[in-house]
Structure 1
Amino acid sequence: MSREADVAVVGLGSIGSSALWQLASRGVSAIGLDQFEPGHDRGEAHGETRIIRSCYAEGPLYVPLLKAAFPLWRELEQETGKHLLNANGALFIGWPDSGYLKQVKHTAENYGLPYEVLPAGEVLRRYPQHRLEPDQVAFLDPQAGLIHPEVAVRAATARAAQLGAQVVTEARVEWIEEQGDGVEIRTASGRYRAGQVIVAAGAWTAKLLPQLNLPLWIERQVMVWFRARRPGDFAPERFPVFIRDRGGDQTWYGFPSWYGFPSVDGATVKVAVHHEGPTADPDTLDRQIHTQDLEPLQALVRSSLPGLDPAPLRGQVCMYSNTPDGHFVVGRPSGTSRLILLGPMAGHGFKFATIIGKIGADLATGGSTALSIEGFDPNRFKPAD
């Protein structure tokens, strides 16, 4: 079989579309394959808005990646003429001694990132949309904001095609095998061959590569939109992205929290709970919205965002692809020489899509990357000999 490309990218969601764009930008012969159309709502890269932050509580290993990701998002905007990133800031609301606020402040101070800590009274003066308990505070990350995921995925994929990449959609990859000097990729409709393969399959990674025995599991997540009584109060210039601590103990994935966005349609505000969803299968995911999905968010809206009508207007289901330690999976699995994993991203990866895509292109074309990814090594899950 003749080789279709030097590098194949399996999965054209947030990470894969960025990897394909980066490869095509370098003049690399590349082909991208996806079982759906770019910007679809079947995986993890949809929902109209996603958070991007500069002050990161999930660990210091992420900050250099974020610093590199921001300019790449702007570069993609410039190349495509699409508005993708709105840096309208982010509020992290909780208690001064809570783990989340401690961690995010520690990150900001260690990396010299701008921030403010606002007492409850000052929060209510600047952002009267919120209701806080008297002993709560807010951490303001002025460089944070939101990204439009569907627009971003379509923009990166279209730009890659414009630069010469092949894009094959409605082609579910069923099998990947290294063979001599290449990799064979089989779909329901045909076979492809490439020198290297980048797998950015998200929730389908474990199904596609069961031989790697990655300890991943999929979590069903629900996003809900509520009507703003005075939409202007929730415009991006007046209402930053927010993450609110729900209290309670830290779990394996971080801190119990819920989050939300300013109105991007001039009428509604999206909110969601971070984690706490049931385990799911990406091919049989329950995409219906149920009463039990809505009730926790309605209660949070009633108590904390009185400017929203607590009767939900609509909802949407997505997924998190989780890892045991809550960190990304990026790099070459042991025993492979032509396979690169970009993800899963443990439920917090969208903001990193541009830089992870660049790292994938680095690994595929040069065998290494200048950025530190040791903490994301796919082989960290293997038992010690």
Structure 2
Amino acid sequence: MTEALKTELVNFSELTGEAGSARRAELARHVATLFALTSDRCSDEQVDIYDSVLLRLVDMVEDEVRRYVADQMSSLRRGPEETIRRLADDEIEVAEPILLRSTVLREADLIKIAEKRGNAHRFAIAQREVLSEELTDVLVRRGDLKVKRKVASNDGACLSDASIMALISDAASDATLQLSLSERADLAEAHIASLISVASEEVRRKLHAAGRGHEAERVEEAADIAAQRMSNQYWLGRYDFETARSRVLLLAKRGMVNEAALRRFASEDRFAEAVATFAWLVRCGVEEVSHWMVRPDPEPFVILAKASGFSSITVGSLLAIGPWRHRLTPDVRSDAMAMFERMTIAEAKRKMAHWNNNVLH
């Protein structure tokens, strides 16, 4: 059966010599189209057969035909891995659809290509829906400005601290990169401060002197966006607290609002529901609690949580969700937990008694 399938797909004896050129192209297109139509129904053995046949064919045809095969393979959930790997490492005209879309390619394949190929290949990879930290590290380290801009504007790119700082450094002289970075949702407070520092008047002057007034205006826009992100209201504006409050009130009527429910919301990173639940448990307003749970200094929240008798597990989980996932550094989070552990409930209640609304806000 295997030999029959091979014979049905391609008779390689017909493909030799100059006379077989058109036939090679026709067969490559035919086999690629056939596999694309039937890939979900193929057994693993059949996929392997297609792989061996296509791999041989793509080495026998011109760029245009290889591009056609790559287009057919690029959107498949399962496919001939060796062929796809071969096409991804081809000239960019061929490799582009595979690098942009193929989920068959493994991360190790993408990293290898990003390391050894040129910026055209890196730019295509930078447009993928999801990019790991390890892959973006390579793209940022090896890529040109065009690649870096694309990585910075890709919401699906996970950026390591090293990559973010490298991009911010490069952004000192590039308004487009500054603007893309300023719009990312995953920058920590320290990163935002660094971004503001490079989006300076000096940069604007340089851009004006070079006759790039439009870019100078974009630098100022990037700085404004980054500054806005440092405010509590920027972060809080991303959540629907009214709907969350209504959901929590329904749960409360059923007797289902407790610390366990709060931890569940925290584990699912449902920040708005966690805020509404915490507010209900401590008998405070949702708006007031939301401001405590967004500020870069978590001390008021920690004291209130201690005074209200919450466990360290609950407090630790809340310090790692929503805006605090981005705004608190590991050191700040660790210091907050240490303060919570040291403080007694009585001490926390005394601090609460001496506070006023101005301090809490």
Q: TM-score, normalised by structure 2?
A: 0.21
Higher helix share: 2
> Larger radius of gyration, structure 1 or 2?
2
Higher strand share: 1
